[in-house]
């Protein structure tokens, strides 16, 4: 069963608050929402659970692949339309340090071919746009509601550091900076009641390029980005990704993971933690491995059981015969 934030409040309320749900104030509801969000963030950090993956098709910009805000990192990537798609094999995913290894491949297409590099290299956890503008440009916002961007730093049209913050207003319409850039500034955004589009505008040709579409609740955008040496603009890849924690704000936002018993135990663990009872807090959160220790199931144990139910019916990626080891060598155990 999938829980929305509105569904979760009455079901989980008594495990996080001593105030009856029916008489709760707006501030108390906001406090509950904050506690539940902190729990979901902690759970997503702890492991990979049922409902925490998503398969999505993404396009490259030049040779970069940037994940949307609700995705944390790639677990598997398979080319659909690219120079490698004809081979029909998934790509390797390399550490961010791979580029800097001694005699490493670098990031150019030529190096990728000569070094037989066929994969993704993680390069950033905090990319703020999906495309990087080139040349000299303005920044432009488009929306249907009000707010503002605060643009910090960056380089001006002469390549000099900009030592002041630039305010770009978000209105019901279009607003453009008077400041020219040759390098993107750091972006902070106010909460808005509608999504906001951010464009670069070439100062010579006036051509707009869409850089990103920001969700209403985004304040400091931060996306995971990979470089795929040898990839071209517009190549598409099927990506299996781990979900990133995104704060549930609206009543219709989904709580991930939506395992009610695990959330109950997690909220109880938080209550004991707030009372400085570290032992019982750890017991209710887990993992306690009850099948071997005889202890109660904690939040993590319930999530493990839920995942085990799903994976028990799946074929493992590597399967070994019980009767034979390698080739025709009899298995002695």
Q: What is the pLDDT of residues 75-99, one digit of tens each?
A: 999 999 876 666 568 888 988 887 7
- Do 167 and 202 reside in the same domain of the chain? yes
- Do 97 and 229 reside in the same domain of the chain? yes
Count of CB atoms situated within 10 Å of the CB of 234: 11
Q: What is the pLDDT of residues 233-273, one digit of tens each?
A: 889 999 999 999 999 999 999 999 999 999 999 999 999 99
Whole-angstrom distance, CA of residue 287 vs CA of residue 309: 17
* Domain presence at residue 317: no
- With residue 57 as reference, give the H or E element that holds it: strand 53-59
Cβ-based neighbours of 96, under 8 Å, separated by 6 or more: 121, 122, 123
Question: In which domain, by residue range, is 101 found?
Answer: 53-128+223-243
- Do 78 and 61 reside in the same domain of the chain? yes
* Domain presence at residue 26: yes
Whole-angstrom distance, CA of residue 249 vs CA of residue 228: 35
* Domain presence at residue 218: no
* Domain presence at residue 326: no
- Do 102 and 238 reside in the same domain of the chain? yes
- Do 9 and 37 reside in the same domain of the chain? yes
Query: Would you state the pLDDT for residue 297?
Result: 95
Looking at residue 155, the DSSP 8-state letter turns out to be B
Helix/strand/coil for 310: helix
* Domain presence at residue 281: yes
* Domain presence at residue 329: no
- Do 68 and 119 reside in the same domain of the chain? yes
Confidence label for 316 from pLDDT (cuts 50, 70 and 90) = low
Overall domain count for the chain? 3
- Do 153 and 280 reside in the same domain of the chain? no
Q: What is the pLDDT of residues 100-143, one digit of tens each?
A: 776 665 555 555 554 556 788 899 999 999 999 999 999 999 99
Confidence label for 19 from pLDDT (cuts 50, 70 and 90) = very high
* Domain presence at residue 113: yes
* Domain presence at residue 175: yes
- Do 302 and 274 reside in the same domain of the chain? yes
């Amino acid at each position: 069963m999938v829980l929305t934030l509105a569904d979760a409040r009455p079901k989980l309320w008594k495990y996080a608050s001593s105030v009856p749900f029916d008489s709760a104030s707006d501030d108390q509801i906001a406090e509950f929402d904050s506690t539940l969000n902190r729990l979901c963030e902690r759970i997503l950090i702890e492991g990979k659970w049922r409902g925490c993956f998503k398969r999505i098709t993404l396009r490259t910009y030049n040779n970069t692949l940037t994940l949307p805000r609700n995705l944390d990192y790639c677990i598997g990537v398979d080319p659909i339309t690219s120079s490698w798609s004809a081979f029909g094999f998934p790509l390797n995913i390399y550490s961010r340090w791979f580029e800097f290894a001694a005699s490493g491949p670098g990031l150019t297409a030529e190096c990728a071919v000569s070094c037989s590099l066929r994969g993704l290299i993680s390069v950033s956890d905090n990319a703020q746009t999906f495309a990087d503008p080139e040349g000299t440009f303005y920044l432009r916002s488009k929306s249907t509601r009000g707010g503002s961007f605060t643009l910090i730093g960056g380089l001006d049209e002469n390549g000099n550091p900009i030592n002041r913050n630039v305010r770009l207003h978000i209105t019901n319409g279009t607003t453009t900076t008077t400041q020219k850039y040759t390098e993107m500034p750091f972006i902070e955004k106010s909460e808005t009641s509608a999504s906001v589009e951010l464009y670069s505008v070439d100062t010579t040709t006036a051509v707009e390029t869409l850089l990103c579409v920001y969700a209403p609740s985004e304040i400091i955008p931060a996306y995971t980005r990979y470089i795929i040496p040898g990839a071209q603009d517009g190549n598409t890849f099927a990506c299996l990704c781990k979900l990133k924690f995104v704060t549930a704000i609206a009543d219709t936002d989904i709580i991930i993971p939506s395992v009610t018993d695990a959330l109950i135990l997690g909220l109880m663990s938080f209550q004991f933690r707030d009372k400085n009872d570290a032992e019982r807090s750890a017991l209710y959160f887990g993992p306690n491995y009850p099948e071997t220790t005889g202890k109660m199931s904690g939040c993590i144990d319930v999530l493990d059981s839920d995942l085990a139910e799903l994976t028990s019916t799946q074929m493992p990626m590597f399967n070994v015969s019980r009767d034979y080891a390698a080739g025709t060598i009899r298995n002695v155990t």
